[in-house]
Amino acid sequence: MPQNQIQSLLRRPRLVILLPLLLFFLWFWTTSLFSSPPPPMASSSLDSDSNTTPSNSSAMALPVIPPAKANEELVYESLPCIRIYKSGLVERYFGSEFTPASTNPTTGVTSKDVVIDSRIGVGARLYLPKLSDESKKIPILVYYHGGGFCLGSAYNPTFHNYFNGFVALSNVLVVSVEYRLAPEHPVPAQYEDSWLALDWVVSHADGAGQEPWINKHADFDRLYLGGESAGANIAHHIAMKVGSSGLGKPVKINGLAMIHPYFLGSNKVESDSIDPAASESLASLWKVVNPTTTGIDDPFINPFVAGAPKLDGLASSRVLVCVAGKDTLRDRGKLYYNKLKESGWNGELELREAPGVGHTFHLLFPTSEEAVAQDRAISAFLNY
């Protein structure tokens, strides 16, 4: 896809248009500036660096957001997260914070960064649980982070802290993919990078790849794809491509974990009314990250429309769909579950709804009761 500029026909959205990202930011801010690190929940084995490493928390600070540039036409704004100008200039105030790989002193989870393609900037952060038996093979999860295709990073403190807890709970090897962001790299760059990352992971299936952790510990009979929000969208499309193209090696996708997936459509669903402004803004966001799109019935964002690849071609023997009760995208996730069930796809399908919580709540409040319950469900899915 050509790297064309954001088209001027895109209207500026009203005030804050990415409610989940705003909540994400506010949680970061309030926990780092005004709260003492909370003790771990007695009922959970999950811990994060924010609970165990005060230096990570205290390093966070409220970003200084300057006025919009007077000499630039502003075509997209979602404060306190991002501004995008017609010239192609992008100012990100949130989501690009970096925390180094480490060994978590509480969970024993160790992480490291790897370069997959230095030419275009594709990489990953790997997470390995503390193993009592170093010869043991464990499930491997290739994970794609969310952020509306334009924000977030595998190296962000929130994802890092989350996986330090989740990997200890689930006892899986996680490959958290770092892909290029829109609008500098419009859709479908994110899908291309994510495919490249999966191909790199699969290159280790014979035990002779570049990364020793994957060679030694990954059980390729239990290879999973997953992601939250836009990352779940990516995971779906990667699984569809595996179905049509294969992986080049005798490896299959054992399961697909779809967490609060970011899908849209011109058809109305009940959860659109939870926050109509957020639903509208998500449609605006899609036009920014994919400026040559046909709209919200583009098969990339609406995989149920005529002309989209048939869902029965999904290359996964099992699928878990997680939705949140107060998420405006809730019923899009349920629609995915129902459409896949009706498609003739021959696999095991599970739907899980967390009541009373919003989009990506497990990242915002990782030790909450619902977050722990959801993580346990995902862990059980990966260790089936």
Q: Does the N-terminal peptide bond of residue 188 adopt cis geometry, omega within 30 degrees of 0?
A: yes
Nearest Cα residue to 105 out of 51, 159, 149:
51
Segment (H or E) for 90: strand 90-92
The single residue of 327, 331, 362, 379 carrying the catalytic annotation is 327
Contact predicate 105/52, CB 8 Å: yes
Contact predicate 226/141, CB 8 Å: yes
Q: Is 281 a catalytic residue?
A: no
Residue 339 token pair: 């459409």
The single residue of 204, 359, 362, 375 carrying the catalytic annotation is 359
Contact predicate 306/297, CB 8 Å: no
What 3-state class would DSSP assign to 103? Answer: strand
Cβ neighbors of 343 (< 8 A, separation 6 or more) are 310, 311, 312
CA distance 258 to 333: 8
Contact predicate 214/140, CB 8 Å: yes
The single residue of 48, 111, 194, 229 carrying the catalytic annotation is 229
DSSP string for 189-214: HHHHHHHHHHHHHHTTTTS-SS-HHH
Q: Is 359 a catalytic residue?
A: yes
Q: Is 49 a catalytic residue?
A: no
Nearest Cα residue to 260 out of 190, 363, 162:
363
Segment (H or E) for 276: helix 276-289
The residues facing 169 across adjacent strands are none
Residue 307 token pair: 């002309």
Residues recognised as catalytic: 229, 327, 359
